[in-house]
Amino acid sequence: MPDRLEGPDRFEGVSAGAEGWSFAAYEVVRDRVPVADFSGVASRRVAHLGEVAADYDVFLLDAYGVLNVGEDPIPGVPERVADLQAQGKRVMVVTNSAGYPKSHLLARYARFGFRFDPDDVVSSRGTMLAALEGMPPRRWGLMAEERYGTDEIGHLDHVFLGDDPAAYDAVEGFLLIGSGGWSEPRHALMEASLAARPRPVFCANPDLSAPLGAWLSREPGFYAHRLADTAGAAPGFYGKPFANIFARALARVPAEVPRHRILMVGDTLQTDILGGRAAGISTALVTGHGSLAGADVDSAIAKSGIVPDVIMPTP
């Protein structure tokens, strides 16, 4: 099982409260994420996306908590998405799931009963890789699970980081892609290597945590923020709530579609809703699944100051 979320940094001592550890932890790193103006936003409460289909032309859907929870699709959502597609709506997935290549994601969504073309899936992994194309080549040290292969990353000069301290010192930068198999000793090696010789750090998944049964996993964003706190790193983040992934998604939308007719649907205030609003599009918060399931949603909105345009228990 994953370790509990704690460590010698700004996350240490974060109190879970009614909204959970993740909510509280996202609040303590608000100084590193985009800002957005929510003045004048009044949330509309509906039962599901079908009730607002006429109001939007494009739907950007988060994955976990919107399409699925774990290895199960959320009941009724494959049918709802198919209905939106049948109405001629553009439906895309905008996900921070960076540990897997797009082929893996497409196969997973198909197994859940969704029908998405490759151009319909915008991932933080793809967003980071696109950015790297415009940068000088480097030898990269990867925080990633080698068992998922090198699809999409095979062209990079890279090494999968493990327990050899020399590997950390030999690379010219670090890519934080997936945290499965990562550990405190490995993080300590990266931290010490960066403190001794600063190099670029890019994080392809800004999420801090993900629920795994009774535990929370540590996602790449968790480690990136710790490196900023303890090793003086200045990580580049790719994915929600940052502008780069929204720009990548919106580039696939015809320019004549008004921004208010584009709806970002997610389960997390500080990534999906904050990022969507900062990108100038409408937002919808799912409350019955994912990060805020069982939480006092009104309290979370009040504490964060992040106000969705639409609130629904299920997509």
pLDDT at residue 21, rounded to an integer: 80
Give the model confidence (pLDDT) of 145-186 as tens digits.
988 888 899 899 999 999 999 999 999 999 999 999 999 999
- The CATH number given to 135-237 is 3.40.50.1000
Tally Cβ neighbours within 10 Å of residue 115: 13
- In the chain, residues under CATH classification 3.40.50.1000 are 44-96+241-312, 135-237
pLDDT at residue 10, rounded to an integer: 73
pLDDT at residue 13, rounded to an integer: 62
pLDDT at residue 48, rounded to an integer: 97
What's phi and psi for 160, nearest 5 deg? -75, 125
pLDDT at residue 214, rounded to an integer: 63
C-alpha–C-alpha distance, residues 269 and 167, integer Å: 37
pLDDT at residue 22, rounded to an integer: 85
Task: Give the side-chain half-sphere CA count within 13 A for 304.
Answer: 28
Superfamily of domain 44-96+241-312: HAD superfamily/HAD-like (3.40.50.1000)
Any idea what the Cα angle at residue 191 is, between residues 96 and 100, rounded to 5°? 25
pLDDT at residue 3, rounded to an integer: 40
Tally Cβ neighbours within 10 Å of residue 107: 12
Show the low-confidence residues of the chain (pLDDT under 50). 1-7
Interstrand relation of 201-203 and 236-237 (parallel, antiparallel or unpaired): parallel
pLDDT at residue 24, rounded to an integer: 86
